[in-house]
Structure 1
Amino acid sequence: MLNMLNEFWLSTGFSVVSYKQVIMIFVSFTFLYLAIKKGYEPYLLIPISFGMLLVNLPKTNLMSGDGLLHYLYMGTKFGIYPPLIFLCVGASTDFGPLIANPKSILLGAAAQFGIFFAFIGAILLGFSGAQAAAIGIIGGADGPTAIYLTSKLAKDLLGPIALAAYSYMALVPIIQPPIIKLLTTKEERQVKMEQLRPVSKTEKIVFPIVVATFTILLLPSSAPLIGMLMFGNLIKESDVVPKLVETAQNSMMYIITIILGLTVGAKAEADIVLSVQTMGIILLGLTAFSIGTASGVLMGKLMYRVSGKKINPMIGAAGVSAVPMSARVVQKMGAQENPSNFLLMHAMGPNVAGVIGSAVAAGILLNIFK
């Protein structure tokens, strides 16, 4: 009887669980709490945190050679899921605010400064150029772009970079507000912006075609991301393939999000995450994302001055690529400061510009280091 009990005990995960795994299990519990109780981007954070939980439970073998999550992870590893996510984002996003206010491009461009800051920081810490490029892209707060670039340049860092990028995307509501408040005055946060001009259907159809053609001719390496983003937007604005649009906006988006979230979380194995290298990458990513937010807000403050106080500088924070999370943060903060304020559409301009900007930055880095 004692032998049977001993054999049963040895077959359980309790008999071999390490302190590092226990730490990661509690980290996953914390993320689940933030997602479910606090509502912090639950569509991203629940799959990521549950994948993190599963992979750190001993003896599951989910990420081993014949494990379920190992096979699902192949789409992440080979850069298949990110362009598909971009297609879904394009089909779900109105580019009208960017077309109506082209100056938003400046805010999106400014918010990409964090990418190059992290790149330089990674070089100084001893990472190779290709590895530093992959780490730097975390600063754009664009998980799909980070995964895609890393899968091409630094496969060995895919786990920690994917985890960092998606974690920061999900934690936008925690990270951005303190930075925005630190860099803006109450008067600036209360600025009520005028309604954007109407954008014609012709403009909306022509825009993705022109952007895809010009950008891909300039940077062929950006074709998978920019091409899918603009294709998704084109089918949305064409109004002739509603079933394709409905599929991309709903079932396709949610299926890929579930698989991508679970597999990203499943790369958060205790021995990998709780290492000096991974912690350095996570800290660099956080710093880069914070600087990207700050540089976007500072550009917003400059535009606030130049425009005669007509632009709310908070919309610069939406220049990072976390669509639509950062735009929602700006909208929420604007409504708190001035209940009659509606900044969402104004923030979507730099938000869309940030998505395009991060994809272009990835294309540039890919051209240099591939």
Structure 2
Amino acid sequence: MDNLLQLWGATGLAHIQPGQAVMIAIGLVLLFLAIRKGFEPLLLVPIGFGGILANIPGGGLAWSAAEAALHSGDPAVLADIARVLGADAAHAGGLFKALAEAPPMLLHEATMVARGAGFSDGMLHVFYSVAIASGVAPLVIFMGVGAMTDFGPLLANPRTLFLGAAAQFGIFATVLGAVGLSTLGLMDFSLADAAAIGIIGGADGPTAIYVSSVLAPDLLGPIAVAAYSYMALVPLIQPPIMRALTSEAERRIEMTQLRVVSRREKIVFPLLLLILVALLLPAAAPLLGMFCFGNLMRESGVVGRLSETAQNALINITTIFLGLSVGSKLVADKFLDLNTLGILGLGVVAFAIGTASGILIAKLMNRFSTTPVNPLIGSAGVSAVPMAARVSNKVGLEANPHNYLLMHAMGPNVAGVVGSAVAAGVMISLVGG
């Protein structure tokens, strides 16, 4: 009997907490949505699986060496770490809080103490440190996205750039909303948290991850899940807003054929875009620089192998580790709180405002232009490429079977990618110090 009890005590089931069970269930739901419903499977499969791994009782796969040492409960190790952090070793909760808020130098010392005692970083924590904490994975993905992007529709109709810019209103409106909720005492978000949450409105997963890793690493899990969930739900969220803000006659507007864009224009544009934006807003240079570099590889025509690798193998490998790294942040004590619900709510508001802003600006443009644009393409200003453009095309075809808006909608869609990178740079410059 003693052996059986000892065996039971060594299992994860004996130590599972209700929060861990809930998070494992959430991980399974994400896998279900990805596999059965087809919601962003490339990201939700590794995120969901990483979330399950992170909540295995006693596994410690998402713990740093210092966190593993604190969870061990070894009095001698706790005392050493408490001395480094200037905290009370008798209160475990206080130690965890002190570790989470420790400046880099003290965190490094605590980690060295833990490693000296035989503790090591968990697998998922290593993935997170390499892929996200360093900022590498989102930048590599942006390079791959750039290599897959055609600026032709934007260059053929430059005024659609304003539609992509308009869709970023959702980002800044949500920042104000998050700050307002905190001021009223309904939520507990700092200005940096609010800025990271607002980026969800751009419907750009890599940008949301990059900004949250810089400004609000503790909110990375819920922000990433919200961003990719709303990207997957574009076909459900956008059409009601589009129909509510446009008339039947507006949805039937047919747009003129786009002109052919020369190869020279496509080569010069990413270089010009990077130089102009980077000189004005250096904080946007990492994201926009990798995006423009990927696009230059595509359009130059002389590095086909590099472009093909960036579009396929490299972005796919990076996506695997990015998803698992995000999943490592779906631990019960960091995800299951009121702030997570606030993030999910503010995220959908940001997305809705971005969609509506693009449509309204398109309608405003029609008042001052002799060549009308179909307001439906304004909703494609969010940077969910190419889902938002496809939704614009679908709703347009419902109103007019001869109205093919896909290529027209790709202009604001691509502009939205650029706009979200610029918005990210603004947030990091203003809030990140």
| TM-score higher than 0.5 | yes
1:73 alignment counterpart: 128
CA contact (8 A) 1:110 1:296 kept: yes
Identity %: 58
Q: Which structure has the larger Rg?
A: 2
1:120 alignment counterpart: 176
1:367: how far off?
1.8
Q: 2:248, 2:2 → 1: CA distance?
A: 70
Query: For 1:159, which of 203, 209, 221 is the aligned residue?
Result: 221
AA in 2 matched with 1:358: S
- Cα deviation, 1:142-168, whole Å, max 9, x if unaligned, reads 222222222222333333323322332
Q: 1:168, 1:149 → 2: CA distance?
A: 17
- Cα deviation, 1:35-87, whole Å, max 9, x if unaligned, reads 22222222222222222233233333221222221111112122111111111
Q: 2:399, 2:34 → 1: CA distance?
A: 25
**Alignment of structure 1 residues 99-178 onto 2, 5 Å:** 99-126=155-182, 127-178=189-240
CA contact (8 A) 1:45 1:170 kept: no
1:3 alignment counterpart: 2
Relative contact order higher in (CA < 8 Å, ≥ 6 apart): 1
AA in 2 matched with 1:43: L
Alignment gaps of 5+ in structure 2: 65-120, 183-188
AA in 2 matched with 1:143: G
2:289 alignment counterpart: 227
Query: For 1:179, which of 241, 247, 261 is the aligned residue?
Result: 241
CA contact (8 A) 1:191 1:309 kept: no
- Cα deviation, 1:100-125, whole Å, max 9, x if unaligned, reads 11111111111101111111112223
1:332 alignment counterpart: 394
Is the aligned partner of 1:236 residue 2:235? no
Q: 2:390, 2:58 → 1: CA distance?
A: 40
Residues paired across the two proteins, number: 369
CA contact (8 A) 2:358 2:380 kept: yes
Query: For 1:264, which of 300, 304, 326 is the aligned residue?
Result: 326
SS for the counterpart of 1:13 is coil
Query: For 2:146, which of 82, 90, 95 is the aligned residue?
Result: 90
What's the Cα RMSD here? Answer: 2.1
Q: 2:171, 2:159 → 1: CA distance?
A: 21
**1:25–1:314: structure 2 CA closer, same or farther, 3 Å change rule?**
farther
1:204: how far off?
0.3
AA in 1 matched with 2:144: C
Q: 2:402, 2:35 → 1: CA distance?
A: 29
1:32: how far off?
2.4
1:63 alignment counterpart: 62
1:289: how far off?
1.4
Q: 1:180, 1:20 → 2: CA distance?
A: 39
SS for the counterpart of 1:14 is coil
Q: 1:35, 1:192 → 2: CA distance?
A: 35
2:99 alignment counterpart: none
AA in 2 matched with 1:5: L
TM-score for the superposition, normalised by structure 2:
0.79
Is the aligned partner of 1:252 residue 2:307? no
TM-score for the superposition, normalised by structure 1:
0.92
CA contact (8 A) 1:303 1:313 kept: no
CA contact (8 A) 1:77 1:158 kept: no
2:43 alignment counterpart: 44
**Alignment of structure 1 residues 292-331 onto 2, 5 Å:** 292-304=354-366, 306-307=368-369, 310-331=372-393
1:190: how far off?
3.6
Q: 1:51, 1:176 → 2: CA distance?
A: 29
SS for the counterpart of 1:15 is coil
Alignment gaps of 5+ in structure 1: none
CA contact (8 A) 1:123 1:129 kept: yes
Q: 1:14, 1:175 → 2: CA distance?
A: 39
1:307: how far off?
4.8
